[in-house]
Structure 1
Amino acid sequence: MIRRCMALACAVLALTACARLLPATQQRSSQGPTAEEIWYVSVAMQNGREPNYDEKQHWRDQLDIRISAYLRQHPEDANSLQLSTFRFDYRVAAGMSKEMVLILFGPPISTTTSEADMERVARRYWPMLKGNVTEAWEYPLGWTLYFAGLRLTELTQYLPR
C-alpha cells in the first residue's frame, strides 16, 4: 500500500514538473471563448466554487433575454455574419459591436486606450495590431479583446505556465 502511494506521488510530481516545462499559451484568433466559459471562471473566482445547475440555467435564460432585446433594438445586426456566433454559440468574434461583447461577457476586468498598455498585453502580436486598434479590454483566461472604434477587430490570449 505504501509503495502504491509513493508511486502515485512520484507520478503526480513528474506530471507537474512536465507541465511547467510547457510553453505559455499565446494565440491570436478571430473568435474567442464562449460567454459560459468567461462566466463560469468569474463565478468560480468570486465564490470559490463552481456554479450549480440552477445558477447556470438562470444565467442562460437572462443571456437569451438580453440577446433578444439587443436584436430587436438593432435589426441591422440581426442579419450580420456574426449572428449565429452571437445568438447560438454565445461566442465573441471579430466584427461584433462593443455592446454585443458586453452582453456576452459582461464588463471587462480592465480597459485601456494607451498604446503602451496595448503593446504590453498584445506581446508578439503588437506589430500586426499597431495602428489598427484603439482600445483593449481584458477578460479572464488571459483573453484580450481589441477594438477599432465600436467594433471588435482582434482577440489574443496569453496564459503563462
Structure 2
Amino acid sequence: MFSSVEIAPLRAALAASAQTVLDGWQQDEQGWDEELGQGGACQDVANAMQEVLAANGIEDCLALFTEFDGGHVFLVVNLSDGVFTLDIAPSTYESGAGYVWRKREGVVLGPGDIHLSRIEPPMSPEAFRARYDENAPADDLAGASCF
C-alpha cells in the first residue's frame, strides 16, 4: 500500500491531468457547455486525477460528492498512513455554487494546487469501501471496522 509521501512525486501529473480537463471545458457567454451544461468541472477533474493514481498503482481511491461549500466532487484515498482527501480547491478554477458554475479563464494549475489532507487513521481496504463507497453492497458493511 502506498503512503502519502509517495503521492508527492505525482502532484505534477495530477495537476496536468486536471489542466487537460479545464482546457477542454468550453463555456459560451451564458456559461453553457455542451457536455456539462452550466455545471462545473470538478467531477471531471476528480476523475482525471483518479486515473493518474490508478495508472500509478493506487487503486483504493473514490470520488465523493458533497453539498458542503456549494457542491463539490473530490477524491478520498486510502493510504498506508491514513485516509486522505485529495483535491484541487474548486475556487482555483471555477466560481459559483450548486449546479451553476463559471470557468475561471486563464487558470494554469501546478503541483502546489494539489491538496492532500489526512482525515482518518489507516484502515483496511474493506473498511474503506464500506465507509466511503456508496455503492458498496450492504453485506460489506457488516463487521467493517475503521481501525
> What is the TM-score of this pair, normalised by structure 2?
0.24
Higher helix share goes to which structure? 1
TM-score normalised to structure 1 length: 0.23
Higher radius of gyration, 1 or 2: 1
